[in-house]
A and B are shown apart, each in its own frame.
Chain A
Amino acid sequence: GAVVSQHPSRVICKSGTSVKIECRSLDFQATTMFWYRQFPKQSLMLMATSNEGSKATYEQGVEKDKFLINHASLTLSTLTVTSAHPEDSSFYICSAPGTGIFGQGTRLTVV
């Protein structure tokens, strides 16, 4: 079946640095990808939709300059958290629209 592969699964970074998270669709092509964020004991919140060949669409309240989303090819979408701060520590998960499938998630800890 279809698989969405997300890396890294866990990352610790220093405050002020940037972190890139990759999400790849295996065995299928994805022209769009959803990016969610989940804080402890809270639900998934949709951050943005990456679009292959065009700009990402961000949900209300999500900082575009802080969360850079790129859809480089039909199988790769990336989320870069720029100038990370401790409050950005969260679980970031990608999902391929229409498949019900999520990536494995990335636990980001900013120290």
Chain B
Amino acid sequence: QKEVEQNSGPLSVPEGAIASLNCTYSDRGSQSFFWYRQYSGKSPELIMFIYSNGDKEDGRFTAQLNKASQYVSLLIRDSQPSDSATYLCGRETSYDKVIFGPGTSLSVIP
């Protein structure tokens, strides 16, 4: 079983819609989770991290964590074409290491 799983996509949403990206993990001891955005050919950019159950909002982005269900999600409101990228979900392990899922490709259609 893979440690962090994501639907590879591509996920297509129209401009202005809400994009919902999902991530599940296998290690119940995981505490912190990260969402990164990666444009093609570029290195990942941190969008946000979350470590408490519930929602965390930052601008158009909302991360949701449910440790009982081992589930993390990222909602992008008012999606823009510039949001088209691959989104990586990661969980933190010991010594600050981050293990990443395969990523979900998002395409926002104008």
List the interface of chain A (C-beta within 8 A of B): 6, 32, 34, 42-44, 46, 49, 93, 95, 97-98, 100-105, 107
20 new A-B pairs (CB below 8 Å) besides A43-B100, A107-B41?
A6-B43, A32-B95, A34-B97, A42-B102, A43-B101, A43-B102, A43-B103, A44-B88, A46-B98, A93-B43, A95-B98, A97-B95, A97-B96, A98-B96, A100-B34, A100-B49, A101-B46, A102-B43, A103-B43, A104-B43
Give the 9 A-B CB pairs with smallest separation, nearest first: A97-B96, A100-B46, A105-B43, A102-B43, A43-B102, A43-B100, A44-B100, A98-B96, A93-B43
Is residue B44 within 8 Å, beta carbon to beta carbon, of the partner chain? yes
Q: Give B31 Cβ to nearest chain A Cβ, in Å.
A: 14
Interface residue SS majority, chain B: mixed
Is residue B18 within 8 Å, beta carbon to beta carbon, of the partner chain? no
Query: Do A46 and B97 contact each other (CB < 8 Å), given the known contacts A100-B49, A103-B43, A105-B43?
Result: yes
Cβ-defined contact, B44 with A44, below 8 A: yes
Query: Using a Cβ cutoff of 8 Å, how many contacts connect chains A and B?
Result: 39
List the interface of chain B (C-beta within 8 A of A): 34, 41-46, 49, 88, 95-103
Name the residue in B43, B101, B103 with the highest tally of chain A Cβ atoms < 10 Å from its Cβ: B43
Q: Give B101 Cβ to nearest chain A Cβ, in Å.
A: 6
Name the residue in A44, A49, A97, A105 with the highest tally of chain B Cβ atoms < 10 Å from its Cβ: A44
Specify which chain A residues have a CB less than 8 angstroms from the CB of B98 in the assembled complex.
34, 46, 95
**16 A–B pairs (Cβ distance < 8 Å), ordered by A:** A32-B95, A42-B102, A43-B101, A43-B102, A44-B44, A46-B97, A95-B98, A97-B95, A98-B96, A100-B49, A101-B46, A102-B44, A102-B45, A103-B43, A104-B42, A105-B42
Q: Give B77 Cβ to nearest chain A Cβ, in Å.
A: 22
Q: Give A102 Cβ to nearest chain B Cβ, in Å.
A: 4
